[in-house]
Amino acid sequence: MKASELNLKSSLNFDLNNGKVTLGNSRMVLFGVEAFGDLYQELLNVGDMPAARIVMRRFGEASGRERARMVMQEFQPADKMEWLAFGPTLHTWEGVGLPKLASLEYDGAAKFNLVVEFRNSYLAEEFLRKVGPANEPVCWQLAGYIGGYCSEVFGLNLFCRETTCVAKGDPVCTFVCKPQDEWL
């Protein structure tokens, strides 16, 4: 299946007898985005900005890796580029926001650099609503997700950073993903 053929409305299974929603063999849960605003607030209340960043990034990375594995199992994309395309397609269908691949340089294990522009990030919106304007990018879960998803697809140890963020006044959220050792 190609990412452009995905229709989440017809792909989700609503099992009302057991209280479950699934996409293939993966259980899904629908949350109001307000819960994530509250989560941000609570993480900041019990810790600090670096601790909140770590928790949300790790959650995002685990989620991205798992979603990439599910996509391969359920939709069997023809190649890595099609597998990659499912990531932003799912995010759009899920209401996470509107990601757009701005650039990708990939030459096997020798070169990897991906840039994603993200409009309407629910995380930036919720951070602004609950916490207020930020001094640094705050879509940590999305950065982790992109890094985890791409790591799984390309079999590389990738790390993603958000370089611009709506929560700090930028026009879009921008994510840059490249090999982890290039960030050090």
Distances (CA, A) of 168 to 1, 50, 66, 85, 128: 38, 16, 30, 28, 9
46 in Cβ contact with 115 (< 8 Å): no
Domains of the chain as residue ranges with CATH = 3-183 (3.30.1380.20)
Q: CA nearest 132: which of 72, 44, 6?
A: 44
Percentage with pLDDT > 70 across the chain: 99
Tell me the per-residue pLDDT of 91-131, one tens digit each, with 9 for 90 and over.
Answer: 998 889 999 999 999 987 678 999 999 999 999 999 999 88
Higher confidence at residue 141 or residue 183?
141
Q: Which pLDDT band, with edges at 50, 70 and 90, does 58 fall under?
A: very high
Stretch 36-49: mean pLDDT: 84
